[in-house]
Structure 1
C-alpha cells in the first residue's frame, strides 16, 4: 500500500471488481481508454479485468483520501520489455475526478516508483488524441510524444490519432521533469 498527499494506492482485491467494472463501463471513461466501440462491458470483460490486474507488475486501486476513501480509479505498471527495462503505465479515473489533480498525483507517484524502486530505463504509455487533458498532464510530468498512429480511432464520426509517449530515466532525473 502506498500513499500520496490525497491518494491511497492499494492492492486490487476480488471485492474491487464491481467498482472497477463500473468505472470501465462508464462511456466517458471508455472513450478515453480504448479504441474499441463504446459498449456495456459484460462478464467476459470482468474476466479480462481480473487478468489485467493479476498480470501487471503493479496494479493498484486508487482511493481518494480526501473523499472518504472513495475508489476513483485504478492504475497499472506492466512490463513492456524486460530486456530494455521498459514499463508501460496505464491509468483510468472516474469522470467526476478528472481535472482535479488526482491523475497527475498518481502518475507522478508511479513514474517515481518505476525509476527509483524498479530501476527501469523508460516508462511508456499510449493515449488517444481526444484525451487532451491527459496529454497535457503527461507532458507536464515530463513525457514526450514519441510517435503516433494516424487516424487510428474512429469516434463521433471523426478519425483521431493514437499517441505514444515516454519518459526516460535521464529525463526524469532533470528537475523540470518532476
Structure 2
C-alpha cells in the first residue's frame, strides 16, 4: 500500500517490458498476420525465404535462417512468459522480439487458386526485433518467400505493424522509434521505407559483404518516430485502407491527432487560411477514421481547399516547415491521387524475380 505523497509510476511510462506479451492478430487487405509458431519455421524453408539474403539484408542465407529461427523462439518465449534464463534464447539487455506469420488469401497470379496453399497460405514473416523498453525503440524486418516478393504484401503488412508498435500502451507497445537497416544496393526496399515515412539516419561504412560483386558495401540505417509516423498516409500512399479495429489503431490515430494539433499551434499565424484549413482537414480526417468511417476521412481530405493543398506542397518541397525531407513519398501531391487505384491487385504478375530485392 502506497504512502501519502508517493508517486506511483504509470505503466505506460515504464521503461520495463512486461514479463509476457500477447502477440496480436492484425488484418490487412492482402494479408493477415497471426503470431508465428515454431511449426512455421519449416514452411520458411519451403517458401525459399532466404533466397538472395545478402542482397536484401546483407546476411548470407545460413545466417538469415539462423536469426529467423532465433527470433521466432524469442517471440514464443515472451508469449509464454519465460525469462531469458528459462528460455535460453533471451538477450542480456532484456530486449524482446515479436514475430508474426504473414498469411494471404489472395490469388495474385490469377490462376484461380489462392496463393501459398501448400504452406497453409503462409508467405513469410514480419518481426519487431530488439524491442528496447528503456529506449522505446525496435527494429522492423519482413522476410517473404521468394515467389511473394515485389507484389505489395510487405506494403500492406508493415504500416499496420508500425501503427501497433507506436500506439500507446496498453493498446500497443508505446514505442518512440522504429528503424531498419538496409544494404546500400537494396534501393527498392529503401524506396518502400521512404514511402512509409522512414528517413536516412546514418551509414555504417563497409559493414556488409556483397558476395555477388565480391566487395564490401555500406549499410543504411533509416528510422521513423512516433510523432512523425502517419497511420493514414502510410497506407493511403499505396492505395490501401485503414482497418480501424486492428490493435492500437484508434489510440495511434488519437495520438497523431494530438501531435498534429500541437504542430499546428506551433506554426502560428503564418499562412493562416491555408494552414488552418489543412490542420482542420487533417484533424477531421483522423477523427473520422477513429469513428471507423474511412470513406468520410478520405472525402474530407479530398474536399480540402486548393489554398491548403498549395501550402502543403510548398512545405513538402522545401522540407523545412514540418521537418520531413523533400523525398517523403506521401506528401500532399501524392495524397491527391494516391488511393483511387488499387495498384497492388496487378503488381508483380508475370514479373521475373531472379534479381528481386524488395521484401
Decide: shared fold, TM above 0.5. yes
The residue number in structure 2 matching 1:127 is 182
Query: Could you say which residue in structure 2 is the equivalent of 1:4?
Result: 28
Secondary structure in 2 aligned to 1:96?
A: helix
CA distance in 1, matches of 2:154, 2:100: 13
Structure with max Cα Rg: 2
Deviation at 1:158, TM superposition (A): 3.2
C-alpha distance in 1, partners of 2:159/2:63? 31
CA distance in 2, matches of 1:174, 1:66: 23
Q: 1:111 to 1:133 in 2, by over 3 A?
A: same
SS class of match (1:172): coil
Q: Write the distance in 2 (CA, Å) between the matches of 1:104 and 1:163.
A: 20
Partner of 1:60: 100
Within 5 Å, give how 1:158-169 maps onto structure 2. 158-169=215-226
Residues 69-97 of structure 1: CA distance to partner in whole angstroms, max 9, x if unpaired? 62211111124421121011111112322
* Alignment coverage as a number of residue pairs: 173
Q: CA deviation at 1:160?
A: 1.7
CA shift, 1:66, in A, is 0.6
Instruction: Give CA-to-partner distance per residue, 1:46-70, whole Å, 9 cap, x none.
Output: xx54331132432001112214362
Would you say 1:149 and 2:173 are equivalent positions?
no
**How far has the Cα of 1:29 moved from its partner?**
3.6
Mapped partners of 1:27, 1:174: distance in 2: 31
8 A Cα contact 1:99 1:133, kept in partner: no
Q: Please, which runs of 5 or more residues in structure 1 have no aligned partner?
A: none
> Could you say which structure has the higher strand fraction?
1
Runs of 5+ in structure 2 lacking a partner? 1-24, 76-96, 108-113, 115-119, 236-359
After superposition, residues 81-92 of structure 1 pair within 5 angstroms as 81-92=132-143
Mapped to 2, the partners of 1:13 and 1:112 lie a distance apart of 22
Distance in 2 (CA, whole Å) between partners of 1:84 and 1:26 is 30
Q: Which residue of 2 aligns with 1:50?
A: 69
Q: Is the 8 A contact 2:50 2:64 kept in 1?
A: no
Shift in Å at residue 118 of structure 1?
1.5
State TM-score, norm by structure 2.
0.44
User: Are the counterparts in 1 of residues 54 and 209 from structure 2 also a CA contact under 8 Å?
Assistant: no
SS in 2 for 1:89: strand
> What SS does the corresponding residue of 1:21 show, helix, strand or coil?
helix
Q: Which of 126, 146, 149 is the equivalent residue of 1:75?
A: 126
Matched residue, 1:93:
144
Q: Out of 102, 115, 119, which is 2:166 matched to? A: 115
Judging changes above 3 Å, is the alpha-carbon distance between structure 1 residues 54 and 176 closer, same or farther for their aligned structure 2 residues?
same
Question: For the Cα contact (< 8 Å) 1:11–1:59, is it kept in 2?
Answer: yes
Q: Take 2:63 and 2:197, find their aligned partners in 1: how far apart are those partners? A: 34
- TM-score norm. by structure 1 comes to 0.83
Instruction: Please say which of residues 164-173 and 21-30 is displaced more in the overlay.
Output: 21-30
TM-superposed CA distance for 1:174, in Å, is 8.3
